[in-house]
Structure 1
Amino acid sequence: MKRRNFLEKSLLTTLGVSATPLFANSITSDKKITSTFKLKFAPHIGMFKHHAGDDILDQIQFMSDQGFTAFEDNDMKKRSIKTQEDIGKLLHNNNMEMGVFVAHKIYWNRPNLTAGNIDLRNEFLKDIKDSVEIAKRVNAKWMTVVPGFVDLSKDLNYQTTNVIEALKKASEILEPHGLVMVLEPLNFRNHPGMFLTGSAQAYQICKAVNSSSCKILFDVYHQQIQEGNLIPNIETFWDEIAYFQIGDNPGRNEPTTGEINYKNIFKFIHNKGYSGILGMEHGNSQKGKEGEQAIIEVYKSISEF
């Protein structure tokens, strides 16, 4: 029997459930996983494919075997319902937490939420409703939201109001389920023309939305390029930050390959009591198994503080 088929059947037997969506904390696993790291670092699909192969479940199992206690997948929304359910069960069985997935269609080159267009707003809200069901299947709490492109025909304050109104309506959908959309500011170099770029801007919007379901995704890579001053900004906007993502600059590869002092950043947020996930949204600086092993060793080393 193929390992994947055996894993799926054994999971169902162990959990004593059929292949139906799981809700967070609906069952308790007695399997104990020892974390290798002080923080909940979350790899993504493809990061360890040379060790684990192309199968998604095998890759997640490999992550768990290395001591990672979280996982994120921007493309979760594109996966089949069965794959989502299988991932949810495997994460649960390994006591791993699900990180972010992208909650909606992102407009990279024309305005949507900034424009105040009702049809585009309704499209966004439908995506959010659909993402609630995906979150249930994979036991996720967080989902990424990017408000989209600027509307050069409209005043910035008017655009901001349009975005806030859309996010308020999205929060009304998410709040009853305890789910959180995290707004991701993007840097001007990789994503020119996007509306949301700075952490202060995201902070202002979250305060205006005033919901536990609307928080900030602080991507350290983006904010190093966009504004720098990382630790002071994290401190300033701390009460609205719910999620971090990682990538060194230049290159957007693993920590220690660029200019960002990640050990100090991790020590800071650890000492602040952060118990959330840090998504490893970066590439591998080296190819093959050697590069993948280097990723693991780097995260071990920067966890020593």
Structure 2
Amino acid sequence: MSWTLRYAPHLGYRPPFDPLFSALVGSDDPVAHVAFAAEQGFTGVLCAAARRWSAGEQERVGQAIERHGLQAGCVLYTTFDQLKNTSWATDSDDARRWISDELAQATAAAKRVGARQLAVLGGARADQPMGPQREVFVQNLCIAADAVARDGLVLCLETLNGHTVPGMLLHHMPDALDVVRAVDHPAVRLIFDTAHVQAMDGNVLAELDAAWDHIEIVQLADCPGRLEPGTGQVDFTGVLNVLARLGYQGLVELEHGWAQHGVESEQRGLDTLRILDEAALKSLNGDAP
């Protein structure tokens, strides 16, 4: 089973950390999900919450990923409960020590699972203007980028839906682009998450075009609700056609939940993805507008 683009289902990305295809696999064991991903012809698996696993579990999953010839998707640089930590926006030695320690732990986890990208999100201080906080963010990213680059890793900045996750440094793709351009380092790039971009910026295709040169990872989820493609407002046909036409070689991480849980819903999601992917192939071959 072959695909036009390089898809990677998640192994659990937010509480309660259920893997994407729990019903079809019949288990929450991440190694079983790695095997399922390989059986489906996927390119990789998203290990966003790898830091919640023990070192031994990280190694076990990493060995399975390598054994099946898959690629590990991005790893969140910190634990889920620290997503709103404001250290990235803080100009202090303590803040930079905290960042350094989190990145060291994330780097170790990434190496165990075989990941090459760390997802970075940072909280903003409500009692301070945003402009100076983003300037400090740039400064801290410059320091961090040199450190992770020595380990062959890339820091990937992600915008978040401000309606559901308020108080972050980056909610809009143009602001994320400004930060990446200000850092101007090859180890600092972007995650383009369709649900977050749709919720905050609206025109997903225009934002995809504007950010193209700086995108490291694309994540698929519909909006509203972060559910499977076809349940909301995102033009997934347009998104995947663009990725195929422009020769996107990164992972397309499936970071969504289900409108309804169960085998039928998950199988329908696979079928929908297949239809979208086949349309992208036709677009690549010039058979679609």
Give the TM-score normalised by the residue count of structure 1: 0.84
Correspondence list, 1:154-303, <5 A: 154-303=128-277
- Other-structure match for 2:96: 121
Q: What's the CA shift string for 1:48-103, capped at 9, x where partnerless?
A: 12222122211211121111111112210111112111111211121211101111
Higher deviation after alignment, 120-129 or 101-110:
101-110
- The match for 1:51 among 11, 20, 24 is 24
Give the TM-score normalised by the residue count of structure 2: 0.88
Deviation, 1:251, is 2.4
Alignment coverage as a number of residue pairs: 270
Which protein is bigger by CA-based radius of gyration?
1
Q: What's the CA shift string for 1:206-237, capped at 9, x where partnerless?
A: 11111111101111100101011111211112
1:130 matched to 2:96? The reply is no
Runs of 4+ with >4 A deviation: 105-110
Deviation, 1:105, is 4.3
**2: CA distance between counterparts of 1:113 and 1:51?**
39
Give the share of equivalent positions with the same residue, in percent: 27
Secondary structure, aligned partner of 1:216:
strand
**1: CA distance between counterparts of 2:90 and 2:102?**
18
Secondary structure, aligned partner of 1:304:
helix
Name the amino acid aligned to 2:9.
P
Secondary structure, aligned partner of 2:277:
coil
Ranges in structure 1 where 5+ consecutive residues have no aligned partner: 1-33
- The match for 2:4 among 38, 41, 59 is 38
**1: CA distance between counterparts of 2:35 and 2:122?**
33
**1: CA distance between counterparts of 2:197 and 2:228?**
16
> How has the CA–CA distance of structure 1 residues 270 and 138 changed in structure 2, closer, same or farther, with 3 Å as cutoff?
same
Q: What's the CA shift string for 1:116-162, capped at 9, x where partnerless?
A: 243122111111122222222111111110022x2233332211111
**2: CA distance between counterparts of 1:141 and 1:212?**
13
1:78 matched to 2:52? The reply is yes
Contact 2:87–2:98 (Cα < 8 Å) also in 1? no
1:145 matched to 2:135? The reply is no
Higher deviation after alignment, 82-91 or 115-124:
115-124
**2: CA distance between counterparts of 1:241 and 1:252?**
20
Contact 1:70–1:99 (Cα < 8 Å) also in 2? yes
- Other-structure match for 2:38: 64
Contact 1:110–1:151 (Cα < 8 Å) also in 2? no
Higher deviation after alignment, 126-135 or 219-228:
126-135
Contact 2:220–2:255 (Cα < 8 Å) also in 1? yes
- Other-structure match for 2:61: 87
